[in-house]
Amino acid sequence: MFKPYNFTKKKQIDFLFLPQDLKYIYTMVKEIIRKVGAQVEHYLEESQKGNTPALNQQAPERIAQDLKLKKRFQKGFASTEDLLDFTATYLTHTNHLNHPHYMGHQVAVPQDLSGIPEFIHGAINNPSSLYEMGPAGGTLEGFMINWMLEKVGWEKQKDPYDFKFLPGRPSGLLTHGGSVANLTALAAARAAAAPDAWTQGNPSNLIVIGAQTAHYSIARALSILGLGSQAFWPVEVDEKEVLQMASLEKVYKKAVKEGKKIMCVVANACATSTGLFDPIDAMGDFCSKHQLWFHVDGAHGAAALAAPKSRHHLKGIEKASSIIWDAHKMMRVPALCTAVLFKDFTHQAGAFQQKGSYVFHDDEVVGMDSMPYTIECTKSALGTKLFWTFALEGEAAIGAYIDDSFALTQDFYVLLQAHPHFEAPYTPESNILCFRYTRYGEDDEFQRKLRYAVINEKAFYLTSCMMNGKRYLRVVLINPKTDLKHLSALLDCIEITAEKLSEQLL
């Protein structure tokens, strides 16, 4: 079983409390970093070997006590040992994403060294939204955005060191997460549909159309923008919860008949619950035909643009007006890091028409500021951690990881199909799959309880969701260390746990 890292060497000097001259600070920093680094290394090793539970869930009161929060908050760490005791205890109370049995939410299992730019940022604090506050971070953001624009197919052979924002040319920026990115893209769509909305407020007839399974951040964005969540007009989906073109046509006709102004049409790429892709190519053609803004929510699935065998799921994505793409889901980058991409910089520029004279000095500015185009004023050095993960692994390896995780999910589907007590309602298209344990009937509540019971066994971490009115167990196969043998063990664990649960419920 997992044991916290143990420093066997006897403590000789307490570095935390050495006199504050430069030499000692240097020694202290070096020593503490070395020791915390060793703890993290140990944590990764134990998690990856499966020597710890994926999640050993405890109540917050217990965690607060274990971490001695009150005492440490008031008095500070008593010693270096005390600091290390805190970090060791903290690490035991985490969800161990690096464990091959972690298959829960769409949150990246970072490359082992992906935390280093976070550490550097924490020490130097160079936000990247204002170029002069973080020139290196800002440059890396521009470089990675150029790479993404090329992957979408909007830019061909652009000089990756060309960072200028130019009207008529594709552009983009990084934000803290997909929800903020969706809000940013919808603000830009609103500016295009109703240019006076920023100063005058929204016209009452603005709507957004998308699958009824669109991520909740879309409806939230509409409320935040003052349109109200009812401005989202849902399009019916099929039994696999994929948008149907005939239904889109129907909603469109109804909207036109009622005099609505369609601000944009949203595609799931892919849907959060199922991991299935909306018909992007056909939706793109539909939007071109009717001259509508086409927004692709690729929070999870846009990463397939980097994966040679899986990119076909995104066919037609270049027809989009805006795209969001989370790097902290499928690209092994620690949360948060999302790109919002625009086919035309004019639209990025229109999203937030608010000027702050102390920062937006267009003429003299060196480099590029993303601040005028984001909700966030200060933001982290997001491009640095995105670049870093690629530099650690190489572009081809990240692509192969995405392809492999999609392929493993197909293999898991085959395993489920062959088992008499499991049911999987669709062939997966990404690394997300819903399935049910059917031996004890069709009860939704049983699936929900089963998920908690499996987690409480401290063996696996998985999620659950509703699909087409039924509750399912759900995996997101995002850990590169997870293989078919772990998935086979998952099925065994579910069988044993379900039997115990059914006895308890009798």
The verdict on 332 binding ligand PLP (CB under 6 A) reads no
Q: Provide, rounded to whole angstroms, the least separation between the CB of residue 273 and ligand PLP.
A: 9
Q: Does 202 bind ligand PLP (CB under 6 A)?
A: no
- Pair 290, 251: CB distance under 8 Å: no
In the sheet that 261-268 helps form, which strands lie side by side, from edge to edge?
171-175, 338-342, 322-326, 294-298, 261-268, 206-211, 232-235
For ligand PLP, the binding residues in 134-193 under the rule CB under 6 A are 177-179, 182
111, 114, 272, 370: residue in contact with ligand PLP (rule CB under 6 A):
272
- In the bound complex, what is the minimum distance in angstroms from residue 284's beta carbon to ligand PLP? 17
- Residue 349 phi/psi, 5-degree rounding, is -65, -25
Question: Collapsing DSSP states into helix, strand and coil, what is residue 253?
Answer: helix
| Binding range to ligand PLP, per CB under 6 A, among 8-16, 297-305, 420-428, 451-459 | 297-305
DSSP 95-143: --TTSTTEE-SS-----TTTTHHHHHHHHH---SSSGGG-HHHHHHHHH
The stretch among 61-69, 78-86, 118-126, 294-302 that binds ligand PLP (CB under 6 A) is 294-302
One-letter-per-residue 3-state SS of 362-390: CCCCCCCCCHHHCCCCCCCCHHHHHHHHH
61-90 residues in contact with ligand PLP (CB under 6 A) are: none
**Which is closer to ligand PLP, CB of 182 or CB of 370?**
182
Site for ligand PLP in 334-363 (CB under 6 A): 338
User: Is residue 241 involved in binding ligand PLP (CB under 6 A)?
Assistant: no
Rounded-to-integer distance, Cα 430 and Cα 301, Å:
7
Is residue 129 near ligand PLP by the rule CB under 6 A?
no
Asked if residue 322 binds ligand PLP (CB under 6 A), the reply is no
Q: Do residues 284 and 277 make contact, with C-beta atoms less than 8 angstroms apart?
A: no
Which of 303, 267, 289 minimizes the C-alpha distance to 182? 267
Complex with ligand PLP: residue 299 or 381, whichever CB lies closer = 299
Stretch touching ligand PLP by CB under 6 A, among 16-24, 28-36, 164-172, 295-303? 295-303
**Window 87 to 126, contacts with ligand PLP (CB under 6 A):** 106
Instruction: For residues 404 and 315, give the distance between their C-alpha atoms in angstroms, rounded to a whole number.
Output: 19
The CA radius of gyration of the chain, in Å to the nearest whole number, is 25
Dist CA 295 CA 282 (whole Å) = 13
Among residues 109 and 459, whose Cβ is nearest to ligand PLP?
109
Locus of tokens 């920093």: 29
The count of chain residues that interact with ligand PLP, using the rule CB under 6 A, is: 14
Position among 299, 408, 424, 434 found at the interface with ligand PLP (CB under 6 A): 299
Distance set, CA 359 to CA 121, 372, 375 (Å)? 22, 9, 14
Q: C-beta of 219: minimal distance to ligand PLP in Å?
A: 11
Interface region with ligand PLP, contact rule CB under 6 A, candidates 86-94, 115-123, 293-301, 417-425: 293-301
Residue 300 near ligand PLP by CB under 6 A:
yes
- What is the rounded CA–CA span in Å between residue 144 and residue 388? 10
With respect to ligand PLP, which residue has the nearer C-beta, 98 or 179?
179
d(CA 502, CA 506): 6
Q: Which is nearer to ligand PLP, 223 or 488 (CB)?
A: 223
Among 141, 297, 393, 429, interactor with ligand PLP by CB under 6 A:
297
Residue type, 109: V
Minimum CB separation of residue 240 from ligand PLP in Å reads: 16
Residues 211-230 as x/- pattern, contact with ligand PLP by CB under 6 A: ----x-x-------------
Instruction: Find the shortest distance in angstroms from Cβ 99 to ligand PLP.
Output: 21
Least Å distance, CB 281 to ligand PLP, is 18
When binding is defined by CB under 6 A, the residue of 46, 278, 326, 369 that contacts ligand PLP is 326
| Residue number of the CB atom closest to ligand PLP | 178
Q: Cβ contacts of residue 42 below 8 Å, gap of 6+?
A: 4, 5
Do residues 283 and 245 touch, judged by C-beta distance below 8 A? Answer: yes
**Chain residues in the site for ligand PLP (CB under 6 A):** 106, 177-179, 182, 215, 217, 268, 272, 297, 299-300, 326, 338
